[in-house]
A = this chain, B = another copy of it.
Amino acid sequence: MIILDKLVVAVVGATGAVGREMIRVLEQRKFPVKMLVPLATARKENRTVRFRGRALTVRATTDKSFNGVDLTLFAGGSNASQEFGWEAVRRGSLVIDNSSTFRARPDVPLVVPEVNADALRFNHGLVANPNCSTIQMCVVIKPIYKKLGIKRIVVSTYQSVSGKGRDAMEELTKQAKAFLSGKKYAPKVFPHQIAFNVLPHIDVFLENGYTKEEMKMVTETRKIFSNPRLPITATTVRVPVLIGHSESINIETEKPVSIEVVRKLLSQQYGVIVVDDEAPVKDDPLRRTYPLPVDATGRDEVFVGRIRKDISVENGIDLWCVADNLRKGAATNAVQIAELLF
């Protein structure tokens, strides 16, 4: 990078789970920030966020907030993106939006840097960050898609509560505490008890019986791979984990597949770390490594394990992938897009 410490960067939704992580990632990846502008709804005004050791005061977002801003990362909900997304662009800022608002628009690139960085070439100042569960799957399937072709994907997810924000994390811990002392804690953020339970329900339900979260995994992956007919089915499930999404992915490939080849493709893929043994440990069939959400927390890579040949089809593999949904699933991916743009 040639330009250093030159950019004014705004983060909308700076007090949320993803917003805070974006600020942390900007600092950790030494993104060339001249000035950081933390923005949020009026309700959050005057809170502070920390950046490079200093406490910065959060301001309420208005149209004028974007004057003189070079780059805006939207980490608020769809409302913020809808209200201010294009306004920020009009006022001269490049925008990377983490909400689902513009992801389907043909004039908005939807980018996972490891997969389709080239999609950034044509943009109107606004780039969409894909959904957390989509990003980690795309990074993992990319080398398989390129080398072997993909016929069909069946994915089931195990998604942490932080995907729903800080309130959801608080609900899980408070509800678990109450449960363990024999008390009740009525759900507010989730539709049902999440502590010591699993919910096959993320985002709203659609006419076809899928949830919006499930259809995001379908339509966003198709857009990222520029393959509008890529066959995918998804079941997305919330589990009582604080940070880190896991996915059980079944892939049917076009070409014959061997585990050795898949293992090699994945270990050579930028952004992927293979956590797997090549064979059961001799005399100790219980010992084998695999990725876990608690280990992925705070990391920028996607972790893959349990790689095995699917015994139910001629050409297929099963695998298990885990990533920090706030980082690679949101903040890190957004900052990586920004790094490519500047």
| Chain A residues with a Cβ under 8 A of chain B | 152-154, 156, 158, 172-173, 176-177, 180, 191-193, 196-201, 204-210, 218, 231-233, 235, 237, 239-242, 246, 248, 250, 259, 279-280, 285-288, 290-294, 305-313, 316, 318, 320
Given contacts A180-B173, A198-B293, contact A205 B311 (CB under 8 A): no
Chain B residues closer than 8 Å to A177, beta-carbon distance: 180
Verify A285–B205 contact, CB threshold 8 A.
yes
- Asked if A288 and B158 sit within 8 Å, CB to CB, the answer is no
What's the minimum C-beta distance from A269 to chain B, rounded to whole angstroms?
19
Question: How far does the alpha carbon of A292 sit from the alpha carbon of B187 in the complex, in Å?
Answer: 14
Q: A192 contacts which chain B residues (CB < 8 A)?
A: 292, 294
Q: How far is the CA of A233 from the CA of B249 in the complex (A)?
A: 11
Output the nearest chain B residue to A215 by Cβ-Cβ distance.
Answer: B311
Complex partner residue of A231 from B232, B233, B248, B312, CB under 8 angstroms: B312
Most buried by B among A305, A311, A320: A311
Partner of A242, one of B196, B204, B218, B287: B196
Q: Is the CB of B288 within 8 A of A205?
A: yes
CA distance A195 to B292 in the complex (A): 12
Q: A193-B294, A209-B307 are in contact. List 14 more A-B contacts (CB 8 A).
A: A180-B180, A191-B286, A196-B242, A196-B294, A197-B241, A197-B292, A197-B293, A198-B292, A200-B290, A205-B288, A207-B279, A208-B311, A209-B306, A239-B240
Question: Are A204 and B250 touching (Cβ within 8 A)?
Answer: no
Is A210 a contact of B308 with CB atoms below 8 Å? yes
Query: Nearest-CB distance from A216 to chain B (Å)?
Result: 13
CB distance from A264 to the nearest CB of B (A): 16
* CB-based contact B306/A235 at 8 Å: yes
